[in-house]
Amino acid sequence: MTSNYALKNLVASGETPPLDSRHLIVVRASSKGGKGIFAKADIPRGTRIIAESPLLTVEVFNSVGKPKSDTRLSRDVLAAYNLLSGTKRRAYDSLHKYSRNSKIGDKAAVFVANAYEDGVYWLAARFNHSCIPNVHHIYNNGKKIRKRTFHALRDIKKGEELTVSYIHSEKSDRRARETELENWGFSCTCAACTNDSARNALEWKIAKLARFWKSPPRTGPASAKKSLERYEAMAVMSESAGLVGNSLAKCYRGCGKCSIALGDSNQVVKWLGKELEVMKYYMGDDHPTFQELSELLKSFKEILKTMEKRRKEPLSDTE
């Protein structure tokens, strides 16, 4: 069985809408190297493109929370691989291998090159990296899903390559991103990582965001007014850099916290609403975190409404 055969069958299998929209994508050769995932049709912002279970899972941290040694990781990956079915082994073996440690072995090299936080996903392993990705991924542990889901962060045009960020782009300037991406043997050619002037302007914004997130301003009462201005400015910066996923949501969260410290209820509602709007796009409204925050906003609005009603009621005659 060729890897292309396995590829065709595994793309065809899996979820169908509304849980997944993999009919909108195609896997083919990418100019970034190897294979990539491309839009077969226009994909609107917020579309859940893939919902996938891992092909192979291995815990990458040891019992004291430190990354496992290469030897231990190799051994654990091999043990997990040996438990896979024949079809899954062939699918795993068809994935790209890379490790800076040449002694790590083929199975572990596939793991190192392709794993998300909790393991290797067969279809999602084909996403290439961009520091300004158009897809966000997150594990949805809701009872009806229990899969890693991949969402369009903005409208994606037919033929465009779909990318995720392997790193926290908003926290790293170009040099830091280059160093981190060496773990995947990846040299990024995204809009922020090359040298013409428009692209340099983009990198300037990301570097500014990176500095901001290194020591984000305090949101306590003493500094809330000034901090709110800074979080608002970073929200605008994040949006104009094209970082419209959790980077933007975190800025709105900061604005919300400052508004709480300032005791400005209407502003709290505004910022929570903005955060939720962004979260809906990048995680979906069936994600437990979205639902929790959504409930919180609903209760908060109800309390405000009751308080407003009481305020307007004429005072009763107590004499």
Residue numbers of the site for Zn ion (CB under 5 A)? 131, 188, 190, 192-193
Of 60 and 176, nearer to Zn ion (C-beta) is 176
Q: How far is CA 162 from CA 49, 114, 133, 192, 287, in A?
A: 10, 16, 8, 16, 22
Q: CB under 8 Å to 176, separation ≥6 — which residues? A: 210
Of 50 and 131, nearer to Zn ion (C-beta) is 131
Strands 147-152, 35-39: parallel, antiparallel or unpaired by DSSP? Answer: unpaired
Of 188 and 248, nearer to Zn ion (C-beta) is 188
Of 193 and 224, nearer to Zn ion (C-beta) is 193
Closest distance of CB 44 from Zn ion, Å: 25
Closest distance of CB 178 from Zn ion, Å: 8
Of 176 and 276, nearer to Zn ion (C-beta) is 176
Closest distance of CB 299 from Zn ion, Å: 41
Exposure string for 166-188, b = 16+ CB within 10 A, e = fewer:
bbebbbbbbeebeebbeebebeb
Closest distance of CB 131 from Zn ion, Å: 3
Separation between Cα atoms, residue 208 and residue 123, nearest integer Å: 34
Of 144 and 175, nearer to Zn ion (C-beta) is 175
Separation between Cα atoms, residue 207 and residue 202, nearest integer Å: 9
Of 22 and 177, nearer to Zn ion (C-beta) is 177
3-state secondary structure of 71: helix
Closest distance of CB 162 from Zn ion, Å: 15
Tokens representing residue 316 in the block:
């009763």
Tell me how crowded residue 213 is: count the other CB atoms within 10 A of its CB.
16
Closest distance of CB 193 from Zn ion, Å: 3
Tell me how crowded residue 190 is: count the other CB atoms within 10 A of its CB.
21
Look at the block and give the residue holding tokens 């109800």: 302
Closest distance of CB 36 from Zn ion, Å: 15
**Going along 2-111, which residue ranges are E strands?**
25-29, 35-39, 48-52
